Amino acid sequence: MTLIFEQLLNGLLYGVMLFLLAAGLTLIFGIMGVINLAHGSLYMVGAFVGTWVANESGHFWLGLLAALPAAMIAGFIVELVVMRRLYSRDHLDQVLATFALILIFNETTTIIFGRQPIFSQLPDALATPIEILPGLPYPPYRLLIILAGLLAALGLYLLINKTRIGMLVRAGSTSREMVRALGVDIRLLYTAVFGLGALLAGLAGFMTGPVLAVQVGMGEQILLATFVVVVIGGVGSIKGAFIAGIVLGVVDTCLRAFLPGMLATFMPGPEAHSLGIGIASMGIYLLMAIVLLFRPKGLFPVGG
Amino acid sequence: MSRTVSIALGLALVILVLALVPPISQALGERSFPSLVARIMIYAIAVASLNLILGYGGMVSFGHAAFFGIGNYVVGILYYHHAEGVPLWGIIPGTDQLLITLPAAVIVAGIAALAIGAMALRTGGVQFIMITLAFAQMLYFFFVSLQQYGGDDGMIIRKSNQLFGLNLRDKMVMYYVILVIMVLFFAALWRVVNSSFGAVLAGIRQNERRMTALGISTYRYKLYGFVLAGMGAGLAGGLMAVFLRFASPDTLHWTESGELMIMVLMGGVGTFFGPVLGAAAYLFLQTYLSAWTEHWQLVFGLILLVVVLGTRGGLSGLLSRLTRGRS
């Protein structure tokens, strides 16, 4: 029982990570109509800069202060130099240009930080597991990530639903042309949304640092899962990204944790393990295929 | 009339040059060059098949490597069962006869394309891109999880396939086999593209609603195109397994799908010979940049970015602009 509860928490952790990345991506998708494969690279920038600053300064939270602006500035540069030219292009050009950005980001990071993964040192208070249920110790840092992710979701909800900028964002994802026609500086809005997405990606990147290895290519590992979240949730929908992110995070984590064991009850061990991992890895894609077959626009489609 | 003649002459010239590559590079001491050209020819088949749906049909498939990889594995798995002497699922005997393995690769890839396409084509736009990617990733993880066939590491095909007593282990012989297959493939593709079916496909790209209004079942035509493209990629994947004597899950990875798309774009989307140019440009760049610097991906990324943002129509667009400028 405690094992299941622990995996549910791990799934929730992965889910909020997916949400932080998917939120930015779905806004960029929904408002500007751009497929941005390089979103994972912004996540990587946040992770590398934050972890490096934290290690050099010896203060973990200084890393966060560095990671957020670094990812945001990287986002602004990407938007100003590359993305602007892609808004009017077709999806093929967008996929390829942002694919090129992945290569550029990865190699530049390799040149600066090397190929070895880097690790960050957590403050002791966050690293020592606490007993959240009888017989279930859990690292407080992981709880903090979940909390931060949920807070970010709440903040985003308030920003989108209660502020003027949020109103423009919502209007932009429903009818881009109309917002432009009403005299809103759409280019400024695009840059702001892109920066916001980059900020969230950087936050996710820095926070996963102590949990996963910070290494080149980390962006692509999570990128595809993020796209699955965006598509299942419905392009442009923050609510959809949140629900799909949490569900996929939990489903993926539980499949990986329990499927190999379940298969091992009626198969030889090593084969059951590799088959279980294989099917678990396919799980989210299968889920996406099923959702798209019945709801071709995702669960919470935005606009007409 | 004169245009047809000049195209035919140009083609004959290209085939002649390709046929002369091995002896000339032998004479110049460039031993690895024919292998590079052979890989370019194999990729040209895969890229041209992607171009059929992407360039002519307007379907941006981000999962084309799935069919390439299936072809790859069909040849690998048939050889595995031939070598072990144990039939697959107890009924399908293995084989190493090229005249069986390659058609099998084409057919299995075609069936997979039929199943995937039938589902994926119900969506469109971004969702189509993502669902094709999803199916390719599923197949990738499926093959990775098959321990019997090497899992992560892929499988080595120890002995080369058989064809009329030719020694396919000899890279030179293999080179000409690949050349012949490529020429046959492009001849077949020429028929397809210039048939009424090709015209319908192009019509769907330009305006699907209009084609529907003309009474054409666009879904069916798109599905036919998707299956044909999958078969082409299966042929290329099978040929690659025969050539490298190795089948690997890397051939199904999503970056491979991305590379195929890059080659389509570099050559020129929706042009007949663009895929050959695109495959050549990509593999030359990859080979020579990586020999020049460890960080070749940075240079390549920058080149790709400039190509995407700065050019229209890729290399063949550039070529036709140059030739038009002269005449």
What pLDDT, on the 0 to 100 scale, is given for residue B227? 94
Instruction: Determine which of B305, B306, B312 to mutate to test the interface with A (most A C-beta atoms within 10 Å).
Output: B305
Is residue A303, in this structure, part of any structural domain at all? no
What pLDDT, on the 0 to 100 scale, is given for residue A270? 73
Long-range contacts of B287-295 (CB under 8 A, 24+ apart): B287/B36, B295/A107, B295/A110, B295/A111
Q: Which residues pair with A137 in a beta bridge?
A: A131
Give, for B247, the enclosing helix (H) or strand (E).
Answer: strand B246-247
Q: Which residues pair with B155 in a beta bridge?
A: B247
Give the β-pairing of B155-156 and A130-133.
Answer: unpaired
Class of the domain covering B37-326: mainly alpha
Q: Which residues pair with A214 in a beta bridge?
A: A118
Among A43-47, B108-112, B198-202, B289-293, the least confident range:
B289-293
Give me the total of CB pairs closer than 8 Å, taking one residue from chain A and one from chain B. 131
* B2 confidence band (pLDDT: 50, 70, 90): low
Is residue A302, in this structure, part of any structural domain at all? no
Range(s) of the domain holding residue A265: 2-294
What pLDDT, on the 0 to 100 scale, is given for residue A32? 80
Coil, helix or strand at residue A138: strand
Coil, helix or strand at residue B150: coil
* B146 confidence band (pLDDT: 50, 70, 90): confident
A278 contacts on B by Cβ (under 8 Å): 141-142, 144-146
Domain range annotation of chain B: 37-326
Is residue A201, in this structure, part of any structural domain at all? yes
Would you list the DSSP string of B8-46? HHHHHHHHHHHHHHHHHHHHHT-TTHHHHHHHHHHHHHH
Q: Report residue B142 as tokens.
A: 């499926």
What pLDDT, on the 0 to 100 scale, is given for residue B312? 64
Quick check: B284 contacting A, CB < 8 Å? no
The Cα–Cα gap between B247 and A252 comes to 28
Instruction: Determine which of A29, A36, A92 to mutate to test the interface with B (most B C-beta atoms within 10 Å).
Output: A92
The pLDDT of B42-51, averaged and rounded, is 93
What pLDDT, on the 0 to 100 scale, is given for residue A138? 81
Given CA atoms A189, A192, A197, A200 in this order, what sign does their dihedral have?
negative
What pLDDT, on the 0 to 100 scale, is given for residue B230? 94
What pLDDT, on the 0 to 100 scale, is given for residue A304? 45
Give the β-pairing of B246-247 and B155-156.
Answer: antiparallel
**Cβ separation of A278 and B123 shorter than 8 Å?**
no
Residue B42 has pLDDT above 90, yes or no: yes
Is residue A299, in this structure, part of any structural domain at all? no
The pLDDT of B11-15, averaged and rounded, is 83
- CATH number of the domain that residue A14 is part of: 1.10.3470
Is residue A235, in this structure, part of any structural domain at all? yes
Q: Report residue B52 as tokens.
A: 């059929």
Which residues, in sequence order, are CB contacts of B83 under 8 Å at separation 6+? B94, B96, B158, B159
Q: Any idea how long chain A is?
A: 304
Interface of B with A in 42-71 (CB under 8 A): 54, 60, 62
Per-residue pLDDT of chain A (304 residues; tens, 9 = 90+): 778 888 888 899 899 999 999 988 888 887 788 888 889 999 999 999 999 998 888 888 888 889 999 999 999 999 988 888 888 888 888 888 998 999 999 989 988 888 888 877 777 777 777 777 777 778 888 888 889 889 988 988 888 888 888 888 878 777 777 887 888 877 888 888 889 999 999 999 888 888 887 888 888 878 888 988 998 988 888 888 999 999 999 999 988 888 888 887 877 777 777 778 888 888 888 888 888 888 888 888 876 4
Q: Report residue A60 as tokens.
A: 């973990």
- With 0.95 as the threshold, say if the pTM is over it: no
The Cα–Cα gap between B95 and B88 comes to 11
What pLDDT, on the 0 to 100 scale, is given for residue A75? 92
How many domains does chain A fold into? 1
Is residue A134, in this structure, part of any structural domain at all? yes
**Cβ separation of B134 and A288 shorter than 8 Å?**
yes
